[in-house]
Structure 1
Amino acid sequence: MRHVWAGLAENPGLPREGVERLLALESPDLSTELAGRTDLTDRQVLALAERDAVAAGSLAASGRLTADRVDPERQPVAALALLRAGLGPVEWAHALCERPELRARLASCPVLPPAVSRRLAAEPDLAVVIELAEATTDPAIAALLAAHPSEYVRQALGFNESAPAAVLADLIGNRPPLDSCEVCERHPVPWVHPPDCPDPDCTLHPGAACDGSHGFARETILQAALGHPAAAAADALTHLAAASPFLRAQLAARTDLPASAYATLAADPQIWVREPLASNPAIGEPLIRQLADDPSEEVRRSVAQHPRVPLDVLDRVCTTVRLGPLPVPRIAAATPAELDALAGSANRELRRLTALRRDLPDPVRDRLADDPDPRVAAAIAPHPGLDERQLRAMRQRHGRTVGAGIAANPDAPTALLAELVHGEHNVATLRALATHPAADGPTLTACLRDPRARRRAAVHPALPLARLRSLLADPDPSTAQGAAANPSLPPADLLRLLPPPRG
């Protein structure tokens, strides 16, 4: 019954008595689901915040848990949630640091008193120090952690968005040098992790190795630091000829390198270096055109995602690769005049990409709605502003190909939605219909034939009550939970489904 009770906890129509009965449950704990409710009393908010850290974070983020009602000594979990959200006094950290079970989460707070940060940095529990390295915004603490003997702490610091340039320079330059690594602490060197490692409890990375220079550990630190936007370009460029393609790929994504470096990377033999380079907004048109002819489909697909790819290059590239269901950045930024030209292109894939925009000028939208190509029509079908006549004409012209698109159109009328389940259709149409606000009871009932559509229809307020009640016993837990969360369930049904009162 947990999934049903979880749905009830999310149901806005659940009477106050029901909230209390769910709150009283010890197993299963429904704190996370209950925390999303908007009708909680102050007492319930505090009870949930102290019971569950995730619920506490949600309540703090929504503003329902406030510092004036929390005592960090009596309610440490709630206090920690406020501190992590930046909504509690930083002085609370002193009291919370006295609780070992909370130190790792405390270390993830971006702002802490220096004395607390220094204490956490000296923790023997590496998980605590790693959390601190990932989150700290204190330059002095970051500099201290850059000299930590663990490669994992240094790597975490390299991913820290607040790491200063000087600290990143030390990480890139291996200052101070690593004295050891996890590999040589476990095995005599030289040692390479065998691909068929016989130890079932081994936690080392498949590529881990050490010859005494700790090169593998150094590479993990560099992968984090080289891609950091605050790392100086001059420091990053010292690894332009790195043996590891993963390090060169980090450089390929940077936007502050000289043109000569990008030219070198464009000639790299590894696809996963050229791929991030191809969409890098810092490269110029000559390299874009060069990479558009790359033998790798992945690289050409990345070219199509470049925000300034020339339209003639995009025209050529999009016929050689499969692109996704979202407009590419260049078309998303196209001017009205460019959109008009794109809608009239002889390239049907270019027209399809244009049709994926949802803010097209009306004349462009209407032109694409009349497009003879079914993939273009399917892409434009969900566009707001299309009237019933246009949607019916598209359906008559293209049949089931445009069914899902019409079902996703916010302006599609109820009668047309109902017709989509009577003719030839696919499951994508049913899944779109199941969430449409204008879908009526018979249409939603037809959607129950598909398991994924049934999950979505279970929460639709227009689903007939008899069908809704039957879904409460559905073998799929997510469907049953959705049905229990449906606001159309009468209060009597909600109370009947609740666990019995305690005592």
Structure 2
Amino acid sequence: MDEKQYAELDDLSRSADVRDRKKAAQNHHAPAEILERLSHDESDEVKAWVAEHRSTPADILWRLYEENAEFVRWRLARNVTAPAELLMLLSRDEDEGVRWRLIGNRALPKDALAVLATERDSAWATTIREFVAKHRLAPQDTLRLLSNDPCDDVRAAVAGNRATHPSVLDVLARDNKEKVRYQVALHAHTPLPTLVALATDGHSWVRIAVAQHRRTPADVLERLSHDVSENVRAWVGEHRSAPVDVLWRLYEENAEGVRYRLAKNVKAPADLLTLLSHDEDEDVRWNVVNNRALPDEALPALATDQGRRRGQDIRSAVALLDRTPSSVLQTLATDTSWNVRSSVATRRKVDLPSLSVLLHDDDAQIRAAAQSTIETAMTEDIEAFVRESQDVPLDVDLSGFPREVLLQYLY
């Protein structure tokens, strides 16, 4: 803060208008001496903003706390630079508004989380306990306590907390609420026997979570592939550990939702993905073109995709792939869609034959984009293009020709 800015802020802090003084207290760059003066302000609103300010010295925060003004304590509870001891005291504050605001403070100490986990009688009690149950720093004893909470949202939050111990997850897997068991089934650290048991859960959403879990073994996935729920079977179709014979059987079911997820499976056989590239559902074809295991054999069909909603996007995706053959790119360079031709013109891997086509495009923007991309081409690639397109004999050395001369053969 320069002298002029300091002087302006100092004037605001001395103003007779409370709105000016509040504005000074809210300024992120306000120095400690101005904040100290404002901490004695006659307005609790001004002092409250001082209490929340990150640059306010600890001794001033303690003095503001001891004044016992409710509105000031609300703001103190939000201060991420407040001393841990002060935050601990606020976790036991008689005002539930203070305790509720405290849960949003990322500097909240673990001991304060343990205190807030016992919140019971206030209007915000359930919200506060649920927040503690989700907190990444919540102590294990606290999470274990909350795993028996009367509120199912709190128990579900414990089940979804990445820090929750596997032994607690094992208990929650037998909870009478589907939402709790669902979170257990999704948890990365759920014990394998527990995960296997949840595969037979009576609620489909729990079984879906098991089918999604990266550690679900192949034999469990095989069993889930016969599930009565199409959604469960669909998630099996996307799972990397699903056996190949299971994937083929799921494909032969011809269920749209199952094929949709099969097309996303990066471990699916190349011939299965090639079949899916011809699928009647364009969303399935869209998933295939975005699958990093996309086989080369699928590219020609996708490059001519005419889907009403996704066709243009699918062709553009093919144009942007590094491994798309030049012959396919040359076809896409004459596509009716501006977006597809633009994708060919701006793709990362330079393809000179298709760019030479785009240099004659009707659209000036595409011609300019193609020319700009050509400028990034390696000289040896330009020489190879000229040699092939002009039938230059191999015994003719093109390295002596200036780059600018060789580039003329692209036009």
Give 1:60-139 correspondences, 5 Å limit: 71-73=34-36, 74=38, 83=54, 93-94=61-62, 100-101=70-71, 103-104=73-74, 106-108=76-78, 112-133=82-103, 135=106, 137-139=108-110
Is the contact between residue 235 and residue 258 of structure 2 (CA under 8 Å) also seen in structure 1? no
- Bigger radius of gyration among the two: 2
Asked if 1:384 is matched to 2:320, the reply is yes
Three-state SS of the structure 2 residue aligned to 1:129 is helix
Q: Structure 1 residues 221, 366: CA separation in 2 closer, same or farther (over 3 Å shift)? A: closer
In 1, are the aligned partners of 2:237 and 2:262 still within 8 Å (CA)? Answer: no
Say if 1:305 and 1:330, in contact at 8 Å, map to a contact too: yes
Cross-structure match for 2:289: 355
Question: What is the CA-CA distance between 1:301 and the residue it aligns to?
Answer: 3.9
Partner of 1:205: none
Instruction: Report the counterpart of residue 119 of structure 2 in structure 1.
Output: 148
Deviation at 1:223, TM superposition (A): 1.7
**Aligned 8 A contact 2:303 2:314 in 1:** no
How is 1:333-482 mapped onto 2 (pairs within 5 angstroms)?
341=270, 345-348=274-277, 352-356=286-290, 370=303, 374=307, 378-382=313-317, 384=320, 393-394=331-332, 411=346, 418=363
Counterparts in 2 of 1:249 and 1:405: CA distance versus 1, 3 Å: farther
CA distance in 2, matches of 1:313, 1:91: 67
**Structure 1 SS opposite 2:320:** coil
Q: In 2, Cα distance between the equivalents of 1:95 and 1:104?
A: 15
Q: 1:284/1:404 Cα in 2 relative to 1: closer, same or farther (>3 Å)? A: farther
Instruction: Identify if the C-alpha distance between structure 1 residues 223 and 369 changes in structure 2 by more than 3 Å, giving closer, same or farther.
Output: closer
Give TM-score scaled by structure 2 length.
0.57
| Secondary structure in structure 1 of the residue aligned to 2:346 | coil
After superposition, the C-alpha distances for 1:469-503 in whole angstroms (9 at most, x for unaligned) are xxxxxxxxxxxxxxxxxxxxxxxxxxxxxxxxxxx
Whichever residue aligns with residue 346 of structure 1, its letter is L
Corresponding residue for residue 211 of structure 2? 278
Check conservation: 1:355, 1:376, Cα contact below 8 A.
no
Paired residue for 2:180? Answer: 247
Residues 50-80 of structure 1: per-residue CA shift (max 9 Å, x gap): 7599x97xxxxxxxx6686895444979877
Cα–Cα, structure 1 residues 377 and 394, in superposed 2: closer, same or farther, change >3 Å? farther
Q: Which residue in the other structure is 2:255 paired with? A: 320
Find the aligned partners of 1:145 and 1:158 in 2 and give their Cα distance.
10
- Tell me how far 1:94 sits from its aligned partner: 3.9
Q: Which residue is equivalent to 2:146? A: 171
Asked if the contact 2:32/2:56 (under 8 Å) is kept, the reply is no
Separation in structure 1 between the aligned mates of residue 76 and residue 170 of structure 2, nearest angstrom: 36
Q: Which amino acid aligns with 1:169?
A: R
Structure (1 or 2) with the greater helix fraction? 2
Q: Is the 8 A contact 2:117 2:142 kept in 1?
A: yes
**What is the deviation of 1:152?**
3.0
CA distance in 1, matches of 2:146, 2:250: 39
Where in structure 2 are the equivalents of 1:258-273 lying within 5 Å? 258-273=191-206
Structure 2 unaligned segments of length 5 or more: list them. Answer: 13-19, 39-45, 348-357, 370-411
Deviations for 1:206-257, whole angstroms, at most 9, x for unmatched residues? xxxxxxxxx4xx3232122122122222223223332211121121112223
8 Å CA contact retained: 1:279, 1:304: no
- Give 1:295's aligned amino acid: V
* 2:158 paired residue among 225, 228, 233: 225
Q: Are 1:236 and 2:236 counterparts?
A: no
> How many Å separate the matches in 1 of 2:295 and 2:57?
53
Paired residues of 2:133 and 2:161 also in contact (CA < 8 A)? yes
* 3-state SS of paired residue (1:257): coil
Given the alignment of the two structures, is residue 289 of structure 1 paired with residue 264 of structure 2, yes or no? Answer: no
1:381 is aligned with what amino acid?
S
Deviation at 1:162, TM superposition (A): 1.3
1:77-129 deviation per Cα after TM superposition (whole angstroms, max 9, x unaligned)? 9877874xxx9877775467567446546535566423321332133442431
CA contact (8 A) 1:252 1:262 kept: yes
Asked if 1 retains the 8 angstrom alpha-carbon contact of 2:173 and 2:181, the reply is: yes
- Aligned residue identity for 1:152: T
User: How many residue pairs were aligned?
Assistant: 319
TM-score (norm 1): 0.49
User: What is the match of residue 136 of structure 2?
Assistant: 161
Q: Distance in 2 between matches of 1:291 and 1:45?
A: 69
CA offset at residue 171 of structure 1? 1.4
Distance 1:351 1:328, change over 3 A: closer
- Higher relative contact order structure (alpha carbons within 8 Å, sequence separation ≥ 6): 1
1:303 pairs with 2:236: yes
> 1:345 and 1:257, CA in 2 relative to 1: closer, same or farther beyond 3 A?
same
Query: Aligned partners of 1:70 and 1:405: how far apart in 2?
Result: 61
